[in-house]
Structure 1
Amino acid sequence: MGVAFNKPNIVLVRGSYHTEGERAVPVYNYKPFPEHWNRPAGCLITRVKAVPSVKEEENDFYWWTDCEFLPNNDSSMVTSCSAFCIQPSQGLTSSRAIQPGKICLFDLSGDKNIKCGYYRQASVASFPKLQPFPDGENIVYLGSTCDNIKLMSLQRSTFLSRAQDVYFRAYKYVSVSPSGCYFAIMARTSKQYQYELLIYHSNIITRADSIIDCYKINSEFKGSRLNLEHTTCKWSPDSLCVAAGISHGQLIIVSRRSQTCLCDVFSDVIPNTCLSRATTFDFDPKSCHQVVAVGATNRFLYIVDVEEGTVLCQTEEVCGDHAIDVVRFSCDGEFVGVALKNFTIQLFSPDTCCLIFRFSMKDSLLSLQTSMGPHASILNLTFTSTGQQAVTSTADGYVSFWQLPRKLELQFICKFKILSCVSLDRVSRLPLPPRLKDYLLSLPTRM
């Protein structure tokens, strides 16, 4: 791949400063997805409203919904949503009747009922996006004023403000690095609607470590006067690179150290097409930062080597008749999930781009309606640590849990039995060969 292969070290996140190449992990044991929820592959497990306390109005709202599992915990999930009205210009106007961005914590570990905790004081930005902090005890999100980010404790409901902006930039998206050391923030400036990628140290409040002008890398990477675009940024598994995408179709990979562009994907690697949505790319967990999966407007899935600037593989035919809404790797990198606008979920091999499994959400939820205009039907797609369950958040304000094919390999079963007894920060002390420790920790393996 052109550089030395350095796997991240596992460190205790609580009360420690991390150095280059380290990765933060929770200090609790793995919590499995409850066995009593298991269903046949492709079937709906259960469905919940993202924020149960929000009453549905008579109007037909577009619900911007988000969901994420907590790290090393397949029985707990954080959710949020906001209601919007679709304007003739296809823009989204926040509903004044419903408070946006409330946060809920769902606990599926009970024998019969799903418990839901509601954080009354927490309020996310209009387009809510939640990311669990690597310790599993906090979540990171944009504040409601869009000029700061919040770090909230799930247990104590305490809040810390981080990365407050003093230059009148509007924060649009935030992502925390796997090391727990850095925040990456997509910020829209007042200068010709351009975007900057800000890198903050997690302990710094007002001064950014790096300010990367996305417009200087790609002149198409900028917003519009109507502010209709959406942006996303994601950290690489080794915390050395950040991928930044915009719904206009551009995707750039930048180095945190040098603040330079490592790869402009659609200019350098995949010409004549562009990013399907701001959410249709993801880093391969098996690589440090070299491999990225990309869903394009031509409805193909590409696996790209961003260092060599080459396409490693692509699907033999288009993924479907509808646009790609989300692209997301499983936690172990064994497959990459593709969610289509018509509610079809497909799983592909990242090595060959061969189809592994597919199902239609409409087979179980006949009432699902494809969103009108350019807006996505599926806002997020995520997977449990085992990769045996998928969760989708949709524009109707609901979060749906789906059963994927069960894995019966002995090594796989032993892995999660061990992690149920030993926390991730203690795996390195086990009397096991290094390769087995790497397997337990799901560390990158691509050279």
Structure 2
Amino acid sequence: MGATITLDGGRQTKRKWNQTVPQTMWKCFPKQKILSSTGRALCSEGHDQGHVFYQFNVIPPGVVTTGLDPAQIIWWTDCMFMPFDDSQIITSLGGYFYRGSQGLTQLRKMRLQNYFRIPQGFMTLWRFNDPHYPEVLNTKPSRALPHCSVSTNGTLVSFFTDTDIMCSSLCQNSLVKAKETFCSTFFFSAFSGDSNYVAVLARSRLHLNLAVVVIILRASDMLVMYQRCVRELFQHFKLQKHLINQDRLECRFSPDSQFVAISTTAGQLFLIKRDLSKLECVLVDGKDEELTNERCYDFDPRFPHEVLAFCVNSDQVYVKNIESGSQILHCKLPENVMKATCLKYNMEGDSFAVGCQDGVIVMMSSSTGNILYLLDSKTQAAAFAMTPCKLSMYPEIIRISFSHSDDVLAVSSTEGTVRLWQLPPKMNLVHMCRLVILKHIPASTIKQLPLPTMIADLIVCCPRERARITPVVINNETTQV
């Protein structure tokens, strides 16, 4: 499954990080919206699988697409709960039309009569406690696939225009852009855990570049701190197609902001240092095994950077210890579900969700790999159920986002809608205690309390330094990694 390079000679080193958290208290999702059970899923084997209790349309009103078959329009929709605030969800939207070998074509580039031009990256903030929601954050067009990138303190949002990298402050209502426009085509951006950096994947002429942009809050621009060609870092890097609109790339910071993971449409996944000094680790090389798609991986939030989970084309799910290069967990998706489309850990890292092509979401334990339960979008009530749109194919699940309380799951798809699932209650004393504390004390002041460091990190879901990874079960045998 690709070559593995051990970090720091296999020895764990103490790293310092400063993960930022909001200066406000945690807000739960409005309970009056969760009371509805009309979309309750069909239960099997007596398990409470959760149900869709709310659904909202991200497509702005007044959109007209005369001359197009609505079933062939792909609404690329992303969603994300705001940090420590379950009452707010940020979404991003783009309209596309599939044209065979030409791949996804943006609607705004198509010459049609009586056609409303959708800005790619139409970003909206939905406040469910506010009757006047939503609030439009961005209407500037971009060639990049829409995605949501929010700082961990919940104050900054980054997005692209056709020519610039933009960073908007939600508190001060200000907008800054990168000081140097170094690329012409942008793909993806991601905030670091300390909210000081933004990793940007973009193309400059014929090369794909990775840049780390430093955010300067008191200035009118952002500085490009590090910038290198991806092929210089990873010589076996390849794009799937020659056309720009055929490739989808993503990058993600580790929880301690020290490393950046990059995934490609060609099925590759590799890890590099934040300063782009050298390639650190190749997790999937795209030869022996391929990543299912660019969204099928995530860092375990309980660790600074050591643990990462990903799905491959053979429907296998792997969890690896990056420090030692060893495999922590290996399990397989159920046989009755289709290929994975995305993977996401919950806030506490004790489970993760895998979205599949047939609208099924598989909830798995991160310690044992056991399937906890299934969420099937097809078995919901008529108002909330996912239905086939083209050639009996179901809309693709783009993104999954857990609420901080771990009882609500937001799922976006190519229908242009976001479904909110009520998950089974989490009967855990530690979990319930930390939510009570966060409801009365601002997250940013938790570490000022007379508490042990490990307890304070646990309350705010900050990664904890550990001497070794917890024992897990692999192939029915207990192993110490």
Q: 1:34 to 1:360 in 2, by over 3 A?
A: same
Q: Tell me, in whole angstroms, the C-alpha distance in 1 between the residues paired with 2:318 and 2:102.
A: 29
* Residue in 2 that maps onto 1:440: 459
SS at match of 1:418: helix
**Structure 1 counterpart of 2:379, which letter?**
D
Decide which of 2, 25, 32 is 1:29's aligned counterpart.
25
Residue in 1 aligned with 2:407?
Answer: 388
- 1:176 is matched with 191
Answer whether contact 1:337 1:347 (CA < 8 A) is retained: yes
TM-score when normalising by structure 1: 0.88
- Structure 2 distance, partners of 1:28, 1:45, is 27
Alignment partner of 1:205 is 2:222: yes
TM-superposed CA distance for 1:368, in Å, is 2.3
Identity percentage over the alignment? 21
Choose the corresponding residue for 2:164, options 137, 148, 156: 148
Letter matched to residue 219 of structure 1:
H
CA gap 1:162/1:51 in 2 versus in 1, 3 angstroms: farther
Task: Determine whether 1:346 maps to 2:359.
Answer: no
Q: Deviations over 1:217-238 (max 9, x none)?
A: 1424335322201000000000
Kindly tell me: are residues 316 and 375 of structure 1, through their superposed partners in 2, closer, same or farther at Cα, counting changes over 3 Å?
Answer: closer
Distance 1:224 1:90, change over 3 A: closer
Instruction: Give the one of 421, 424, 433 matched to 1:402.
Output: 421
> What do you get for the CA RMSD once the two structures are aligned?
2.6
Amino acid at match of 2:401: T
Deviations 1:176-205 (A, max 9, x none): 1011111111112322xx422211222373
Q: Which runs of 4+ in 1 moved over 6 A?
A: 370-376
Structure 1: gaps (5+ residues) = 9-20
Listed as ranges, the matches of 1:214-225 within 5 Å are 214=231, 216-222=233-239, 224-225=241-242
Offset from partner CA, 1:50-82 (integer Å, 9 cap, x none):
144352535321101111111110100111211
Distance 2:394 2:180 in 1: 30
**Partners of 1:165 and 1:206 within 8 A in 2:** no
Q: For residue 83 of structure 1, report the CA deviation from its aligned partner.
A: 0.9
Q: Deviations over 1:327-378 (max 9, x none)?
A: 1111111111100011000111122211112110111144522666999701
Aligned to 1:256: 274
Superimposed CA distance per residue, residues 231-270 of structure 1 (whole angstroms, 9 cap, x where no aligned partner): 0000000000000001111111111246222211123xx9
Letter of the 1:279 counterpart: R
Out of 131-140 and 175-184, give the one that drifted further.
131-140
Q: Secondary structure at the match of 2:284?
A: helix
Q: What number of residue pairs does the alignment pair up?
A: 426
Aligned residue for 2:124?
A: 104
Distance change in 2, residues 1:220/1:328 (3 Å)? same
1:368 alignment partner in structure 2: 387
1:123 Cα deviation from its structure 2 partner: 4.5
The correspondence for 1:331, drawn from 347, 351, 366, is: 347
TM-score by length of 2: 0.82
Please give the per-residue CA displacement for 1:81-115, whole angstroms capped at 9, x wherever unaligned: 111111021511111333222221111225xx683
Tell me how far 1:121 sits from its aligned partner: 4.9
Q: What CA distance in whole angstroms lies between the structure 2 residues aligned with 1:421 and 1:161?
A: 36
Q: Which residue among 120, 123, 127 is the counterpart of 2:145?
A: 127
Aligned equivalent of 1:416, options 430, 435, 438: 435
Would the alpha carbon gap of residues 216 and 126 (structure 1) be closer, same or farther in structure 2, given more than 3 Å must change? closer
Task: Please tell me whether the aligned partners of residues 51 and 80 of structure 1 are also in contact (alpha carbons under 8 angstroms).
Answer: no
| Partners of 1:341 and 1:370 within 8 A in 2 | no
